[in-house]
Amino acid sequence: GRLDDTHLSRGQEERKGIMSSGLEQAKAALRAQAASLPNPPKPSGSGQPRMARRLSDEYTVGKKLGTGSYAVVREATHRRTGAVFAVKIIDRKQAKEQRLKSEVALMGTVDHSNCVKLWDVFQDRDRLCLVLDLLTGGTVLDRILELESFTENQAASVIADVLNALHYLHNIGITHRDLKPENLLYVTSDPESPQYNLIKLVDFGLAKLQSSHSNLQTVCGTPYFIAPEILEEKHATYGAEVDVWSLGVILYFMLCGFHPFDDAKYPVMFANIKKGRFSYPSPFWDSISDGCKDYISKSLVVDPSKRPTAAECMEHPWIKGAGESSASKLHASHRSFLLIQKLLIFQRIDPTCLQQVSQRLRIERVPRGELVIRAGEEGDSMYFINSGSVSVLVDGMEIDRKGIGGFFGEAALVLKQARIADVRSCGAKVYKDHGVPEAAELFRLSRADFEEVCEMYPELQSRLSTIAEANV
């Protein structure tokens, strides 16, 4: 429901009353920059705006880094300095113009070490191009899968970085509204870099500037991570507290591999969220410290007026103690849970079902150059990539390459048909003493084992049609 000013915590009163110069500057910048489209300003290296005509005048656009529903991200090299960035090329015909204006305006005001930085803005009739920090370290979940083990120490470091970003954003009146693991990116994948463990918050497409005397009303965000007040009846309002909730859900998921409010049916999941109904089931949470659970429980308080602010979260003993110096490994199923849920039918499934699937995974190590799947043969298994990578080939031509966290061959779980492509192991990046690449490590799930789990969990049966659309 609507926030009651008489029940605000000390931190929320401070945020509610923010009228600092930082907030006023942000609001002024928002008005100025939003009004500037279709001729948006372009920040120079010094941070001062200047006009730009074409992206190709100043940047050489390189390889594709990713795609979205209405945008593609590519490498971009500054012609004069040689500095490398990422450029987000947005199709203006598909994207909502007002959302683009808001994203550009807000990003133009953000300058923090834990937030992606907007460096340049270009546009023509059809495209809007945002030149951003190049972040090559992957998402938080990518990093978890790359590491041999993941501990509370590392989780606390991630959460501390995001809290730093949120504290900054909330103090200048910005609520992100779409926190999820995919929007938490590491700067680099180079373990030798001093920025190896640095997290940056990305994607300000749903972010909003909140004035000192107003709250937000739009229903938005990703279902798993959405706060209960956003789900309330029409006209319910909410504030920056929604980001604290979402971060609590992210931490829960990072540590066990499933979501706190999971249910196969969205209405039930939303009801669980609105009631704050969750637990720390054994054995998956047995090794997690009480301090960590206390942090999560405080973040997932349904009443936003009783939820801590980002600043208050930063003072929590578990954060200040770097995860209580706990270096104990997480539950053995943690990694396989994250891998399994890459496949759509295993999302929003009871953790006991995930456990049954995890127990049936068979480890296969395939040396570089050897075929995992041969075109023309009938398949009876699918594979999740635990380490290394594979190449997907049709008539000897590579059409795709999949790395850690990827999966392939999923159609074989439900269809008895010939494979349409070869899949060849590319090995792993780690090298042995004698210089030979290590084998790629795959988790194999057979059709027989999958059918066995389906008998125990009929919910999976209703999802089988999605598998039949697999390419390999």
Which residue numbers are catalytic? Answer: 178
**Contact, 177 vs 221, CB < 8 A?**
yes
**Helix%, strand%, coil% for the chain, nearest 5:** 35, 20, 40
Rounded to whole angstroms, the Cα distance separating 439 from 448 reads 26
**Contact, 55 vs 129, CB < 8 A?**
yes
Q: Token pair for residue 187?
A: 């700067």
**Contact, 246 vs 227, CB < 8 A?**
yes
Biggest alpha carbon distance in the chain?
70
Fill in the DSSP letter of residue 379.
P
Rounded to whole angstroms, the Cα distance separating 105 from 43 reads 12
**Contact, 281 vs 353, CB < 8 A?**
no
Return phi, psi of residue 153, to 5°. Answer: -55, -50
88 is in an annotated binding site: yes
Q: What angle do CA 347, 157, 329 make, to 5 degrees?
A: 60
Ramachandran region, residue 325 (left: φ > 0; alpha: ψ -120 to 50; beta: rest): left
Q: How many CA atoms lie within 13 A of 217 on its CB side?
A: 6
Annotated binding site for ATP: 88
Annotated binding site: 88
